Amino acid sequence: MQWETVIGLEVHAQLATRSKIFSGASTAFGADPNTQACAVDLGLPGVLPVLNEQAVAMAVQFGLAIHAEIPEVSVFDRKNYFYPDLPKGYQTSQMYHPIVGAGEVEIALEDGSSKRIRVHHAHLEEDAGKSLHEDFHGMTGIDLNRAGTPLLEIVSEPDMRSAKEAAAYLKAIHSIVTYLGISDGNMAEGSMRCDVNVSVRPAGQAEFGTRAEIKNVNSFRFVERAIEFEVERQIELLEDGGKVVQETRLFDPERDETRSMRTKEEANDYRYFPCPDLLPVVLDQAYVDHLREALPELPDEKRVRFQAELGLSAYDAGVLSATREMAEYFEEVRDVCGDAKLAANWVMGELAGALNREGLAITDSPVSARQLGELVARVMDDTINGKAAKQVFQALWNGQGQSADEVIEAKGLRQVTDTGAIEAMIDQVIADSPAQVAQYRDAEPDKRGKMIGYFVGQVMKASRGTANPQQVNALLKQKLDALC
């Protein structure tokens, strides 16, 4: 039987506010346990939440970026359950009236086409703390630094049909939130994570199959792997005459499998009700318009502009607009050198290769965008040739010099374009290579083109790579042909 996979994602993006969603404590990552938890985060008797306006603005910006409807009124609800890292015994979230309504995100598919994934809604909520199970000798430690960190939960419609589509959607969300600067999107630190709802159904069937929810998947790769495993498990189960049960599962990346956490029968009744400590959030049109005007250029817009205005290929435009950091780097290189295509070649070629080799992010590149832009400019104005440019790049990468010009001077890599000087070197090479000159002379004229390479190499070597290759070629041809 042919099976169709149906996937929906709930993405939790930690918002990059300085303080928590309902308290003034810092949200910085990595501090000592419980040093960034104030009375409100600890849920002490008598404390009250105060909504962080920045979190509201960020959520609205996200809504605007996915062309979502922004309701005038949204309401915080309490989701009640007991857990040691949930200090108040409830999580403040938005159940019935979320801050962002229905919207959509476009994803690029491998065959070059694109697909729209609908977003059901996005809501604000507070994160819980962390339970620490190591080092406490049979007890559990609680770290409440993360408690109260603002989260935007982005809930998609079940519109994805493969693990690849799910990963592409997650990447698109990642790219939107990082472009907006509302989340650092750092999946390794848990700033972005997702719950994946997966079901399968016979191809052509209208109703959805029973779904399983895979909780807390925290990398693009794991999302794909978890879905692939889960789909296979469900199909196998169904083909063996079994039934999929609605349940929560956990992905174990070490074993590359999902495992059951709890079934629906054990599910909590969260007893949602409007939080009486917080007023409904009322957004006036002027506020929303103001945020709309302040929106930065988004990945899709950038991709289109890179193609239309800069003349880049669809592929190049896609790669260079994929992340905000990449796009910013590329645009600075281009601004400094003035040529989009050369800038694109260098960023996607030499730079990307070096970053890959060393496993570095573009933000950690030892060669700054300005340095690379100046380097490309020197190629464009013929100060150096392509070969020397690679040497300059390597030197900058290794920290040998502050700028391309400095390296060019220090290493004497300035391109020689003085015809007299090049002719002198050519004459010397011809004089030193009587055998090769004889061969050249004796060869059929249509074979001579290949043989000239030897002489070019010798001249370039003599110039330590600095001679202009085009000039060397042209002059050599003249001189050798004169000997024939």
Partner 1 sequence: MHDKTLSELAAALTAGEFTSRELTEHQLARIERLDGELNSFITVTPERALADADAADTARARGEAGPLTGLPLAIKDLFCTEGVLTTAGSKMLANFVSPYDACVVEKLKAAGTVSLGKVNLDEFAMGSSNENSAFGPVKNPWDAGAVPGGSSGGSAAAVAAGLAPAAMGTDTGGSIRQPAAFCGITGLKPTYGRVSRYGIIAYASSLDQAGPMARTAEDCALLLNAIAGPDPRDSTSVARGVPDYTEELDAPLTGLKIGLPQEYFGDGLDPAVATAVREAVRVYESLGATVREVSLPHTHYAIPAYYVIAPAEASSNLSRYDGVRFGHRCKAPSDLVDLYKRSRAEGFGAEVQRRILIGTHTLSEGFFDAYYKKAQQVRRLIRQDFLDAFEEVDVLMGPASPTPAFDLGAKKDPVSMYLQDIYTIAVNLAGIPGISVPAGFAGRRPVGLQILGTHFAESRLLNVAHRFQQATDWHLRRPELAEENR
* Residue numbers at the binding site for partner 1 (CB under 8 A): 39, 42-51, 78, 80, 82, 84, 87-90, 142, 269, 271-273, 276-279
| Shortest distance, position 272 Cβ to partner 1, whole Å | 8
| Shortest distance, position 142 Cβ to partner 1, whole Å | 7
| Shortest distance, position 59 Cβ to partner 1, whole Å | 17
The nearer residue to partner 1, 47 or 155, going by C-beta atoms, is 47
| Shortest distance, position 90 Cβ to partner 1, whole Å | 5
The nearer residue to partner 1, 92 or 415, going by C-beta atoms, is 92
Provide the residue type at 420 as one letter.
G
| Shortest distance, position 305 Cβ to partner 1, whole Å | 42
The nearer residue to partner 1, 190 or 274, going by C-beta atoms, is 274
Q: Quick one: tokens of 393?
A: 């790049």
The nearer residue to partner 1, 26 or 80, going by C-beta atoms, is 80
- Scored b (16 or more CB within 10 A) or e, 390-406 reads ebbbebbbeeebebbbb
The nearer residue to partner 1, 88 or 225, going by C-beta atoms, is 88
Q: Based on the number of CB atoms within 10 Å of its own CB, is 100 exposed (0-12), middle (13-18) or buried (19 or more)?
A: buried
The nearer residue to partner 1, 84 or 449, going by C-beta atoms, is 84
Q: Are 244 and 234 in contact (CB under 8 A)?
A: yes
481: Cβ contacts below 8 Å, ≥ 6 apart: 448
Return the DSSP state at 31.
P
| Shortest distance, position 97 Cβ to partner 1, whole Å | 14
Nearest to 91 by CA among 14, 150, 47: 150
Q: Are 161 and 7 in contact (CB under 8 A)?
A: yes
The nearer residue to partner 1, 138 or 420, going by C-beta atoms, is 138
| Shortest distance, position 289 Cβ to partner 1, whole Å | 24
- Within a 10 A sphere around the Cβ of 32, how many other Cβ atoms? 8
Q: Are 127 and 14 in contact (CB under 8 A)?
A: yes
